[in-house]
Amino acid sequence: MSASPLIEQLIQALKCLPGVGAKSAQRMAFNLLERNRDGALHLSRVLHDAMEHIRNCERCRTFTESTICHICDDPRRAESAQICIVESPQDVIAIEQTLQFKGRYFVLMGHLSPIDGIGPSELRLDVLQRRLEDEKIDEVILATNPTVEGEATAHYISQMCEKQGIAATRIAHGVPVGGELEYIDGNTLTHAFTGRRKF
């Protein structure tokens, strides 16, 4: 060990960040110590608060520090009678940035993956089922990733919709097969929404 025990601990702890290896962690640790202690103390506090207080929205399951997220809590978002199904909160951000979709979301926080023990109850499809029964919903837009698991998940949910007599559509053009929704530019996502077809 060549740094002090506490600096070594800091370098190790920074490696919990995705994409940060030993060398970047060392660079980050010394950079913060040398140049930005206030920023680091602020990050420490916000990290703590976020990990302690951010839970899942009771309606759409996205991350929020409130019981109901700000999208679910906005009555104007119910007017379109549409629900968009996505795999992750980052997908919500990507779609919101297109400014094309005015409805609500349901965030699966994953996709069906029997081999990993992720079935309908892990994705809380019971919560979605109650929404299909209780809310006025004209269309469910399936915006899961165009991967094998994402397609299987979309198929499963389309069957839930069919039983409930609700139209299910799948986003289409422009999403490259095998790609991940959160990395796609807004223009492509807009086209994918416009070109959606009945599932």
Does the protein bind a second copy through residue 199 (CB under 8 A)? no
Instruction: Tell me the C-alpha distance between 116 and 3, whole Å.
Output: 40
Instruction: Tell me the C-alpha distance between 48 and 52, whole Å.
Output: 6
As measured in angstroms, the least distance from the Cβ of 188 to a second copy is 16
Q: Rg of the chain's alpha carbons, rounded to an integer?
A: 20
Q: Which residue bears the tokens 């959606």?
A: 196
Among the listed residues 21, 58, 67, 70, the single contact to a second copy using CB under 8 A: 70
Among the listed residues 21, 22, 48, 138, the single contact to a second copy using CB under 8 A: 48
42-60 in b/e form (b: 16+ CB < 10 A) is: eeeeeeeeeeeeeebbebb
Q: Which CB sits closer to Zn ion, 89 or 146?
A: 89
Look at residue 66 and give the partner it binds from a second copy, Zn ion, none, a contact being a CB closer than 5 to 8 Å depending on partner kind.
Answer: a second copy
What is the binding site for a second copy (CB under 8 A)? 2-7, 9-10, 13-14, 16-19, 24, 26-34, 36-37, 39-54, 63-66, 69-70, 88-90, 92-93, 96-97, 109
